[in-house]
Structure 1
């Protein structure tokens, strides 16, 4: 197993598949999952000849279950440590949900300055800000996220099962074709991580304002979002993010859920490939 140790002593697990001289694609997973959530993408793109890298965020998956540092500054610094350890250049960073915020924060604060980033993709991503504030009146009230925290603290296993079997993949919609394997894989990944990391992660994904990050980013950026995303509503995320990006393209997927990279991999992978090759 491959790990890199950060400056504050955290061991970050990562996968590194494919030819070392191929263009690297770096995948950033959502909350509360792991790099395993990208299986459909990692297998597809390694077959296309790319070098694919995916890490487990601190406190998630196989990385160290430390009690602190569960915020976007540390998340971005952790992936910067992975990138520097592998000396990745001309990389495309692809982030889903919380990972979309992490990827944007990394690109803005580390990757562009170091000249290591070619492009950015945000899929069902949280930027610019999920929380309702005076400056973001369309956001979700703090009570929504307090409810997440309570559910996690009361019965994390049941909460994760309910999220995966319901809104995450749109399985609560009429005529949805539910996959028990997908649901239990989500649950498995979530339960691998640490409860403290996941609890703090709710604040990280809901209260971090990525507005300045989006304004800083100049590399070509693809924003992909399903219009039936029940976890990160498109009206308060992608539709606002695209207005802040200097070099962004928005692609909306009618009827697709939050976890569309898993439920609709053929469509998502084809569009990712086209963007990467463009």
Structure 2
């Protein structure tokens, strides 16, 4: 397997296919680089170099007990980028991966990043606070933690079968293979990493990171996102970015990169080429 060892001794797995301008994919919680397979195939067949990373504790990376926070996630991504010496790269992050991209670009990406994409992403901050009154109550995330600790396997079946892909909406047609693949990816990772990751994706405040980013950023979000509510995420992030462009998808769910891959892939290609 292709791995890089971080300064604190963690092995980070990555995929690296093709040649050309690099596009780096950052996955959502609690998944793996495999969640980007459709996009990676799309871009590698069009002459791009595609790289995707398994976050620490997820997929094929080390199931360590510690370091499950955005600072470590961003530093781990930087370790892969530096190992591969990627330059003029486009970084694309979905959900928690959008938070990872935001922190990586703001703190590690100078001179290496051409553009970035935040897709259904968690910034600026998910949890409700005095400064973020539209956020979700902490009790929502406490519920995630208790459910994960009690029966992770069932929890990871219920999420994709319901709100993640919008399969709980009237008239929706659940795709069993998609649900099973989500479950497979989730169960590959470590329970401790996933438990701690809930705090990382829900309580990290990316406001200052967003303000620091100089490169063009495309903010993509479905307005029927049941995981990361639209109104408290994408429009706020786009306003904080120096070169932010907001693209809203009517009726699209959180997992729109899978359910609406044809639309998403072509919009990503247009942005990369622009």
When the two structures are superposed, what TM-score results if normalisation uses the length of structure 2? 1.00
Alignment of 1:144-183 (within 5 A): 144-183=140-179
Alpha-carbon distance, 1:168 to partner? 0.2
Partner of 1:54 in structure 2? Answer: 52
- RMSD, aligned CA: 0.4
Give the one of 244, 262, 265 matched to 1:266.
262
Kindly indicate whether residue 190 of structure 2 is the aligned counterpart of residue 187 of structure 1. Answer: no
Taking the aligned partners of 2:142 and 2:196, their CA distance within structure 1 comes to 11
Distance 2:57 2:77 in 1: 13
Which residue does the alignment assign to 1:255? 251
| Aligned equivalent of 1:97 | 95
Per the TM alignment, residue 11 of structure 1 is displaced from its structure 2 partner at its CA by 0.2
* Aligned structure 1 segments of 4 or more residues deviating by more than 3 angstroms: none
What does 1:25-44 correspond to in 2, within 5 Å? 25-44=23-42
Aligned to 1:140: 136
Is 2:6 aligned against 1:10? no
Match of 1:210 among 183, 206, 212: 206
CA deviation after TM superposition for structure 1 residue 218, in Å: 1.1
CA positional deviation for 1:239? 1.2
Q: How far, CA to CA, are the matches of 2:147 and 2:40 in structure 1?
A: 32
State whether structure 2 residue 61 is matched by structure 1 residue 67: no
> Secondary structure, in 3 states, of the residue corresponding to 1:262?
helix
Equivalents in 1 of 2:89, 2:108: separation in Å?
Answer: 13
2:126 maps to 1:130: yes
1:104, distance to aligned residue in structure 2 (A): 0.6
Gaps of 5+ in 2: none
Look up the match of 2:216.
220
Q: Quote how far apart the aligned CAs of 1:147 are.
A: 0.2
Partner of 1:14, secondary structure, is strand
Query: How far 1:272 sits from its partner (Å)?
Result: 0.2
Separation of aligned partners in 2, 1:208 and 1:42: 28
CA shift, 1:177, in A, is 1.6
**Counterpart-to-counterpart distance in 1, 2:3 and 2:83:** 10
Q: Residues 28-56 of structure 1, C-alpha deviation per residue, up to 9 Å, x if partnerless?
A: 00000000000110000000100000010
Q: Residues 197-235 of structure 1, C-alpha deviation per residue, up to 9 Å, x if partnerless?
A: 000000000000000000000100000000000000000
Corresponding residue to 1:233 among 229, 234, 239:
229
Alignment correspondent of 2:22: 24
Unaligned runs of at least 5 residues, structure 1: none
> What SS does the corresponding residue of 2:50 show, helix, strand or coil?
strand
